[in-house]
Structure 1
Amino acid sequence: MLHKNKLMLKPVSELLGEQFFIPAYQRGYRWTARQVRDLLEDLAEFQQNVHGKPTERFYCLQPVVVKKKAEEWELVDGQQRLITLYIILRYLTSLDAVQGQQCYSLRFETRPDSQEFLQHIDPTRAEDNIDFFHISQARETVKTWFKERPGRDKAILTTLLNDDRAGRNVKFIWYQLHDEAEATTVFSRLNRGKIPLTNAELVKALFLHAGNFKRSGEAVRFQQLRLAHEWDNIERRLQQPDFWYFVSNTPQEDNRIELLLKTIADTLKPPVPMQDPYYIFLKFSHHLKNAKSDPQAVEHLWMRIKHLFMTLNEWFDDQNGYHLVGYLISQKVTLQTLIHWHETSQSKNAFLIQLRKKIKAIALPALAPQGNATENPQEEIAAAISSLSYGDKSLRALLLLFNIATILTNANSSMRFQFRRYKLDSWDIEHISSVSSQMPESTPGQKAWTQTIQQHFRPEDDSAAQDEQYGALQTKFYNQARRLLNKETFDSDAFTKLFNEVQKSFNKNSRKDLENSIGNLTLLDAATNRSYKNAIFPIKRQRIIAADKNTTFVPIATRNVFLKYYSQRVHDMTFWNREDHDSYQRAITQTLATFFSEALL
């Protein structure tokens, strides 16, 4: 009994005599004439190129996924490739010169007519159904291709049927599901793009193939074990959440090394359609096939992957590298772009300057054409950010940068921005002091807001400790909220009056034209934001402090805002007024000016 999935390379010769059945959940045969010709061209190119070369060389076909069912193999994936190869083999073995070769069998669980037609293809019946049409078209394409290339039939058939002893053969990537696997579930995952046979598994199998190593015997075994060990170490490091979300923006459960493989694959020359689900594997496979004259091809390719990993590790361990690279990756700058800048920079400092220039173009696009050489960069930054308003596309990038710059402008800081939390959580641009336009419109929303007001303004036992002005507001709004909630029918008009009075009292020194400016905006995760949206400043401040106490990730600049660290006078922690607004906006300007000036050092 097979208890786990099995991955191996299997020569076509070992499929001869096997029995496959295509289950009911599979669609019919749909390969086009072009796809059939491409396969034949690839086989012919391989056959010509390996003539006289080491016998370990082989041509690798894309995977077939199977599950053993009694004496047959249930074909979960790979139907199109296996049927096409069957048509080619049946055509070749029908020729007098190469008669007598055996083939595998294909049985259709719910389409017996297709099974019979595949064994005896009759072009006159091509219009009977769509399966017959595509099968006939494939057979005619094979026939035409060989007639245009007389004498190639024997060579191609030999290449297809050579076993591993003869070598220079054709192999499938054979993926056998374990006995308890549910084939229909696997098929569904395959067709939704959740492919159990990943590019990483395929590339690893390609790298570990003994024919790719110059040595033989125990030396090959040692090299295989070393490469496998290094592969696993890289994957283990990428599984660490802080490291993964430093280099990636998207969740991935396993085979995270594919991020590195993709970065390298994009630089390899063989053209492969990006939309191909096996794009990464095919890139590596074609590259190694084209580099077959180099016995160190696998080693050289593996060294590139290791070097990329070590570079990422170096960036992660460096305070500047971690934050600058992490920021750019969060803004969808590709690893390949970052690696290019790194390789073409004359020094580490030059690389960091390049990163800051790109960051400036993203966070302050209005200043990007001017570069860094300005007479008064602080004034220009002040003008650029003062023009920003709630809803501007660059605002999120700017506020994120402010958090990162706050950390980096302190040379003694060992704090690190949590990219993991930033990428896993949904983030909002939040008003520090709520605005009238945010009044809840639905009755449930109005009730929730009123309950929050009642809870917040509930009189304390130690009333003497309360500020006199605040105490009067506390009593007033607590009683209004309690009466509103105790009514049998919720009074929306009374709610509107309460909401407007609270807004007027706690935003009395604010200006309506500044409500949506950057001095009244901060970055916060959506879960926390939803818990106090429309709330007045003291309630928001209370929630932020509670979140910080509970070790919920609160960006440093957001925490500083609600603790009024940027304000010149903090005698009143109840209101967010015009002075607070201006002090906060100046702090953003000064921090960013310092951050960008360091790029000139």
Structure 2
Amino acid sequence: MTTNNELLLRPISDLMKQRFFIPSYQRGYRWTQRQVTDLLNDIAEFQKNSESSSRKAFYCLQPVVVKQCGEEWELVDGQQRLTTICIILLYLKDIAAILGHSGYSLRYETRPESATFLSNIDSEHADDNIDFYHMNQAREAIDAWFISRPPVYKLSFLQTLLNDDEAGKNVKVIWYQLSEQANVTEVFSRLNRGKIPLTNAELVKALLLNAGNFSQVTELSVRFNQLRIAQEWDETERRLQQEDFWYFISNHTRESNRIELILGLVADSLKSGISRQDPHYIFLSFAHYLEEMHQDPERIEKVWLLIKQRFMLLDEWYRGRVTYHLVGYLISNSESVIPQLISESESCEKKSVFIGRLKQRILRIALPGLAGSLSRERTDRSTQIDATISALTYPERSLRPLLLLFNIAILLTNKTSSTRFPFRHYKLDAWDIEHITSVSSQMPENISGQKAWTEVMREHFRPHNITEKGLDPARSAQHLLFKRAEELLLEEPFDSEKFEAYFSDVLNEYSRTPQQDRDDNIGNLTLLDQSTNRSYRNAIFPVKRNRIIEADKTSTFVPPGTRNVFLKYYSSNVHDMTFWNTQDQDSYRHAITDVLTVFFDGATYATR
């Protein structure tokens, strides 16, 4: 009996003559014909692909979780897979006997008749109970699958299924043996809650803590190193649970086992030859590596050091203000860039060289037309950037990464500020490219949207503490728009034709920029989270401005560039907060140009 959970890869041939029992807390066999056929197809595909592979290639089944009980194994998880393999072996038992294999046995703790039926599946009794039915369905699926292939194929298939490790090119299971102290019903409940299997993280952790992988001769020294690695593992997981750190290195929501991101990076570097499509690619890569290093007494320490080094590099990037923003921007664009950044970091002797290469990568994303041609001279560089962004129009795909970079660069180019761009908010909220001044193409098309827009305008134009008689000429137009909004909302049914005229009149009244000049150029676009955007979508500039101010007051994250736009921070004329005009647009575009011109200092420039 083992006092610790143990984990290893075992070929199916190792299971022959073993005795398993299905405990009472489990339901019976329930695999469908489709699932059985999928398993057969997967093994057949592996067999075909392995013809040109090394002898060490193998096909891996999902984990089998067991606990030793005397001469038998209590099957905690993996019943469906082992039962299906058992039915295949019984179907091919004559050929298996020639190869010297007699299979393994399965019994059901509370359903002994199911074991009897399994050993001799009889279609006439298939409807006697639900276990019999599914076992018979599996047997028929196996029969139909082999009938469609040449008779000699049965031998080659069985050899693949039952080859030992010496012969290679075989089928294995992830064998997870519970300790004698383990509570099997608790383990079963955890594994099957929501049908969640053992994760790669849990499997790798068990592999690293397996007492058999340590070289120390005393049980005390083994236990000490197990506890040390377990503690360091937990500390790493706790760090990854910090949301700001997690959303710096990841674009995906994940509540637990976040360490798998680090493990995946290490697995990629091990180059095990395991298919990345395999659901247990990470675990199998580590298991394969440890098998390759079986003669190295320090193999566990070396593997754990690789994991720690990957984590510490990401943590170092996070703590550095410049690397935080540059790496965070690149990961926001694509999480798959992390291995390339690691490789690049390791190849750079100086941090400044690495920073320059990061900016090179950013340039290819935000301003792809300037990659390889950006001038070293600041004046020329400014001219290049301004010409490039002036040519951009909504909804070009490059606008979003460009505006994200602008917001990050505002913070990064301010040497006196310690403020960090919150990638957590950027990734958890859905972000939009928003028009600063609404355009005619944004007119709501459905009745509910038109009503909502009219209600927003009614509240904005509502006269407060001013009687109609006392309105001055500057406010009379606003009062008229208020009255029209009220009248529209009182009509039943809602009149879409009147709304269209009202929408057009409001936009014309609140814009001093010709329609063709204010629509889709960079000077009329900003980055905003979707929830705030929806709250004022299609509204006029002063309404949007008020909403932005309210969001900022309530600590809702507003990107610095967006906040600056609606406060007219970049505009030379700040006396009129009612309009966003051509001059405002030009000033905003120049601000983007200036910030990016400074930001790309230190990038790799064209030779001139």
Superposition TM-score, scaled by structure 1 size: 0.81
Report whether the alignment pairs 1:242 with 2:248.
Answer: no
SS at match of 2:414: coil
Q: Confirm or deny: 8 A CA contact 2:413 2:599 kept in the other structure.
A: yes
Per-residue CA distance 1:315-354 (angstroms, 9 max, x = gap): 1111101110100000005211110111011211111111
Per-residue CA distance 1:95-144 (angstroms, 9 max, x = gap): 699799974458999998664259xxxxxx99982223558989976855
Correspondence for 2:43 among 27, 35, 51: 35
Distance 1:34 1:360, change over 3 A: closer
Correspondence for 1:402 among 403, 406, 423: 406
State how far apart, in whole Å, the 1-side matches of 2:260 and 2:464 are: 57
**Correspondences of 1:227-238 after superposition (within 5 Å):** 227-238=229-240
Residue equivalent to 2:304? 302
Distance 1:178 1:522, change over 3 A: farther
Q: Confirm or deny: 8 A CA contact 1:37 1:141 kept in the other structure.
A: no
Structure 1 residue 427, shift from structure 2 partner: 0.8
Q: Partner letter of residue 560 of structure 2?
A: I
Structure 1 residue 490, shift from structure 2 partner: 2.2
SS at match of 2:456: helix
State how far apart, in whole Å, the 1-side matches of 2:232 and 2:6 are: 20
Q: Which runs of 5+ in 2 are unaligned?
A: 123-135
State how far apart, in whole Å, the 2-side matches of 1:480 and 1:289 are: 78
Distance 1:545 1:496, change over 3 A: same
Q: Which moved further from structure 2: 508-517 or 408-417?
A: 508-517
State how far apart, in whole Å, the 1-side matches of 2:202 and 2:191 are: 20
Q: Confirm or deny: 8 A CA contact 1:389 1:516 kept in the other structure.
A: yes
SS at match of 1:495: helix
Q: Partner letter of residue 18 of structure 1?
A: F
Residue equivalent to 1:288? 290
Structure 1 residue 446, shift from structure 2 partner: 1.4
Structure 1 residue 435, shift from structure 2 partner: 0.5
SS at match of 2:523: helix
Residue equivalent to 2:63? 63
Correspondence for 2:355 among 352, 355, 362: 352
Q: Confirm or deny: 8 A CA contact 1:200 1:258 kept in the other structure.
A: yes
State how far apart, in whole Å, the 2-side matches of 1:372 and 1:13 are: 67
Distance 1:127 1:214, change over 3 A: closer
Residue equivalent to 1:219? 221
Residue equivalent to 2:598? 594
SS at match of 2:368: coil
Report whether the alignment pairs 1:493 with 2:497.
Answer: yes
Report whether the alignment pairs 1:130 with 2:141.
Answer: yes
Residue equivalent to 2:30? 24
Report whether the alignment pairs 1:203 with 2:204.
Answer: yes
Distance 1:501 1:178, change over 3 A: farther
Distance 1:153 1:410, change over 3 A: closer
Q: Partner letter of residue 116 of structure 1?
A: N
Q: Which moved further from structure 2: 591-600 or 578-587?
A: 591-600
Distance 1:108 1:370, change over 3 A: farther
Q: State the identity %.
A: 43
Correspondence for 2:430 among 415, 426, 433: 426
State how far apart, in whole Å, the 2-side matches of 1:145 and 1:496 are: 70
Structure 1 residue 238, shift from structure 2 partner: 0.4
Q: Confirm or deny: 8 A CA contact 1:265 1:280 kept in the other structure.
A: yes
State how far apart, in whole Å, the 1-side matches of 2:142 and 2:95 are: 23
Per-residue CA distance 1:22-50 (angstroms, 9 max, x = gap): 522555534438837979x99xx99x99x
Per-residue CA distance 1:539-558 (angstroms, 9 max, x = gap): 00011111111111111111
Q: Partner letter of residue 36 of structure 2?
A: Y
State how far apart, in whole Å, the 1-side matches of 2:424 and 2:432 are: 16
Residue equivalent to 2:574? 570
Q: Confirm or deny: 8 A CA contact 2:96 2:158 kept in the other structure.
A: no
State how far apart, in whole Å, the 1-side matches of 2:450 and 2:462 are: 18
Q: Confirm or deny: 8 A CA contact 2:5 2:210 kept in the other structure.
A: no
State how far apart, in whole Å, the 2-side matches of 1:277 and 1:154 are: 22
Q: Confirm or deny: 8 A CA contact 2:437 2:524 kept in the other structure.
A: yes
Q: Confirm or deny: 8 A CA contact 1:426 1:527 kept in the other structure.
A: yes
**Correspondences of 1:52-451 after superposition (within 5 Å):** 62-64=62-64, 77=78, 79-80=80-81, 83-84=84-85, 103-105=105-107, 115-117=119-121, 129-133=140-144, 143=155, 172-174=175-177, 179=185, 186=192, 190=195, 195-216=196-217, 217-332=219-334, 333-371=336-374, 373=376, 376-451=380-455
Q: Confirm or deny: 8 A CA contact 1:66 1:74 kept in the other structure.
A: yes
Q: Which moved further from structure 2: 397-406 or 106-115?
A: 106-115
State how far apart, in whole Å, the 2-side matches of 1:335 and 1:153 are: 38
Q: Which runs of 5+ in 1 are unaligned?
A: 1-5, 50-58, 119-124, 161-168
Distance 1:470 1:14, change over 3 A: farther
State how far apart, in whole Å, the 2-side matches of 1:232 and 1:560 are: 42
Q: Confirm or deny: 8 A CA contact 1:36 1:141 kept in the other structure.
A: no
State how far apart, in whole Å, the 2-side matches of 1:437 and 1:154 are: 67
State how far apart, in whole Å, the 1-side matches of 2:73 and 2:375 are: 69
Q: Which moved further from structure 2: 267-276 or 222-231?
A: 267-276
SS at match of 1:430: strand
Q: Confirm or deny: 8 A CA contact 1:29 1:131 kept in the other structure.
A: yes
Structure 1 residue 473, shift from structure 2 partner: 2.8
**Correspondences of 1:44-59 after superposition (within 5 Å):** none
Residue equivalent to 1:165? none
Q: Confirm or deny: 8 A CA contact 2:16 2:103 kept in the other structure.
A: no
State how far apart, in whole Å, the 2-side matches of 1:563 and 1:96 are: 84
Q: Partner letter of residue 64 of structure 2?
A: V
Per-residue CA distance 1:361-396 (angstroms, 9 max, x = gap): 100011013155467000000000001001101100
Q: Confirm or deny: 8 A CA contact 1:98 1:154 kept in the other structure.
A: no
Superposition TM-score, scaled by structure 2 size: 0.80
Q: Partner letter of residue 23 of structure 1?
A: Y
Q: Partner letter of residue 209 of structure 1?
A: N
SS at match of 1:362: helix
